[in-house]
Amino acid sequence: MNSTFAQTTSMVKVNTFIRSVYNWMTIGLVLTGFTSFFVSRSPVLLQAFYGNPVMPIVLFIGLIILCGFLSARIQKIQASTATGLYVALTVAYGVVLTPIFLIYTSASIVSTFFICAATFGAASVYGMVTKKDLTGMAQFLMMGLIGIIIAMVVNIFIGSTMMQTIISMIAVVIFTGLTAYDTQKLKNMAVTLPDNASGAMVRKGAIMGALSLYLDFMGLFIHLMHLLGVARE
């Protein structure tokens, strides 16, 4: 009986934590989508962020720095600070992704989003229910991700459409796998959370979990857009 009670308590704790992670991830996606749409409809903001060819590079570098800072300092900063940084990061990501609303049709953006959500959801469910340890797969996927990043940098100078298509196809597989792994990692983290963990500790864990899944989702979405997006005429 005690064993059954312990299992039930653990399951409730995991479900509560994962629900919090997905709530924060959803907030991030909404903020990103709203920001991208709003900037794409504002000539003033478009000029401010994309009138100078250097600005997109500065924005992207700033995004990387912000993401790295949040990941590195999450244990030392206040929960409210972590929340603010997460919100700022998702808004900044929205600015960086604004060109998607300018390049592709609204219909293809919506359809690709739902395809991405279905793929992401299936991978996340697999990560939750599988008994297989996905750590080994994650190491392989991370090496693949590094290779993809290098290939993308090289393709900036080459400008090969075929190479970009191949990169995106591989990236879709990588981010789908990382989604499953990160979900399993979050499930394991929830199981090991102390029963007396403070609300701030749980919230910061949920923020970091949301960031991991948010980045997986956005990586998957961007590369699916390369493959499935229909360009505006």
Distance CA 220, CA 182 (A): 14
| In the chain, alpha helices (H) | 2-40, 43-50, 54-73, 79-96, 98-103, 106-129, 135-158, 161-192, 199-228
pLDDT per residue of the chain (233 residues) written in tens, 0 to 9: 445 545 555 677 788 889 999 999 999 999 999 999 999 999 999 888 888 888 888 888 888 888 888 888 888 888 888 899 999 999 999 999 999 999 999 999 999 999 999 999 999 999 999 999 998 888 899 999 899 989 988 988 888 889 999 999 999 999 999 999 999 999 988 888 776 667 778 888 899 999 999 999 999 999 999 999 999 87
Distance CA 12, CA 2 (A): 15
| In 74-105, alpha helices (H) | 79-96, 98-103
- What does pTM read for this prediction? 0.90
